């Protein structure tokens, strides 16, 4: 794997030299200052790339080039916005960018209800609680028809939760859910969010899938020519929220997308944290079955809790089964002869970072810990396979060779 870390540009409290000292060879970043739907100009891309190179790092992966909401709903001047997207791809390719991440989640990017949930060791993590979402949806946002999205026990729990919160807690929950997390493409007030939900009134899951396919059919032929791999980030969390459909939540969703748009440029950002929220997503199996489409890896883990809640676990803990995932990635890398860009995703706020201003999920030390752990895990798996091949000699080339990295599930 090619080791990178996410960087949010010159305003990021984590500096480029910090990332280099953490052991990464590159960054994944974006022109976050450019409004959604606008063209990314070549000079701005080249300037940002030069800044990264001056720190001794590389930048070949964009995270993310946003897909405007009007493209997702096929409304307004959506066709002009697709032309803008295509021009941005041309400009990125001219600067040596060959992986472009995007998502097709309606309105909200990744969503959490707690940004500083305290763990037993005193570190802080991100957490999602379905009851808290329901409390916001039913009693603060007051979305019409929201009652139909929740069963009776959840509605009762949400009412109790809302009643127990004072004005400060309610405002904090509202801000956490809709104000925009690091890397999010939009931020809202509740009034604006309610209006925006209305723009999806006629867009159900089937129509959103069709719009996603239409977007890819418009941009993938050009991406093929440019040598760019477009990698879709899965839904986070991987299920509908606020009555809005989400259509990149399971292996079946992704396989259908690849079947409908078979272009080589149509790829996947495998986020083990997003997919891993669902116990029915077989993460190592997804690497094995979808490997030729994987162009970028987000490696993190979540711990599933009761009643649809989850929190960010340490990178090698939780429910992701990271040893099996990295073993599958190693098999893929050997089979295809390529190194896939990887970044340690959300880390805990810990140690000295507890006293610093940080982007939630993107403090330095928690991600540096994750990168070190993932690097060691990968090297251990690779060296074990190398030692086996050395010991067996010619026998190691057999399809039945015990040197094939086992699946440790």
Active site residues: 233, 271, 298, 345-346, 362
Q: Is the dihedral of CA 342, 128, 210, 31 positive or negative?
A: negative
Q: How many angstroms separate the Cα of 188 from the Cα of each of 109, 162, 213?
A: 12, 21, 27
What share of residues in the chain are helix, strand, coil (percent, to 5)?
Answer: 50, 15, 35
Helix (H, G, I), strand (E, B) or coil at 115: strand
Whole-angstrom distance, CA of residue 305 vs CA of residue 352: 28
Whole-angstrom distance, CA of residue 99 vs CA of residue 97: 6
Angle among Cα 37, 43, 44 to the nearest 5 degrees reads 55
Angle between helices 283-290 and 322-336 (to 10 degrees): 10
For residue 13, what are its two tokens?
């409290």
């Amino acid at each position: 794997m090619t080791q990178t870390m996410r960087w949010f540009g010159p305003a990021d409290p984590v500096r480029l030299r910090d990332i280099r000292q953490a052991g990464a060879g590159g960054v994944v970043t974006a022109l976050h200052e450019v409004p959604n739907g606008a063209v990314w100009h070549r000079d701005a891309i080249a300037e940002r790339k030069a800044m990264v190179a001056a720190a001794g790092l590389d930048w070949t992966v964009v995270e993310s080039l946003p897909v405007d909401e009007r493209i997702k709903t096929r409304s307004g001047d959506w066709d002009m916005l697709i032309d803008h997207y295509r021009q941005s791809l041309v400009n990125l390719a001219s600067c040596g960018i060959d992986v472009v991440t995007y998502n097709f989640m309606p309105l909200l990017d990744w969503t959490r209800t707690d940004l500083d949930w305290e763990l037993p060791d005193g570190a802080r993590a991100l957490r999602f609680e379905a009851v808290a979402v329901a409390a916001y949806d039913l009693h603060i946002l007051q979305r019409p028809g929201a009652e139909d999205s929740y069963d009776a026990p959840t509605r009762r729990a949400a009412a109790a939760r809302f009643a127990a919160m004072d004005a400060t807690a309610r405002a904090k929950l509202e801000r956490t859910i809709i104000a925009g997390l690091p890397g999010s493409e939009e931020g809202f007030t509740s009034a604006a969010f309610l209006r925006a939900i209305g723009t999806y009134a006629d867009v159900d899951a089937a129509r959103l899938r069709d719009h996603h396919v239409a977007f890819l059919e418009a941009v993938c032929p050009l991406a093929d020519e440019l040598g760019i791999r477009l990698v879709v980030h899965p839904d986070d969390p991987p299920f509908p929220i606020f009555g809005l459909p989400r259509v990149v939540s399971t292996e079946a969703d992704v396989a259908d997308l690849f079947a409908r748009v078979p272009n080589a440029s149509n790829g996947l950002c495998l986020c083990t944290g997003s997919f891993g929220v669902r116990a029915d997503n077989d993460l190592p199996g997804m690497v094995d079955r979808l490997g030729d489409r994987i162009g970028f890896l987000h490696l993190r883990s979540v711990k599933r809790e009761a009643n649809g809640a989850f929190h960010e676990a340490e990178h090698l803990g939780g429910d992701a089964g990271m040893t099996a995932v990295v073993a599958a990635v190693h098999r893929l890398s050997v089979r295809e002869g390529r190194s896939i860009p990887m970044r340690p995703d959300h880390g805990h706020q810990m140690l000295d970072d507890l006293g610093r201003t940080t982007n939630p999920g993107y403090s330095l030390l928690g991600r540096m810990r994750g990168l070190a752990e993932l690097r060691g895990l990968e090297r251990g798996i690779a060296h074990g396979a190398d030692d086996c091949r050395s010991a067996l000699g010619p026998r190691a080339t057999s399809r039945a060779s015990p040197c094939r990295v086992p699946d440790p599930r």
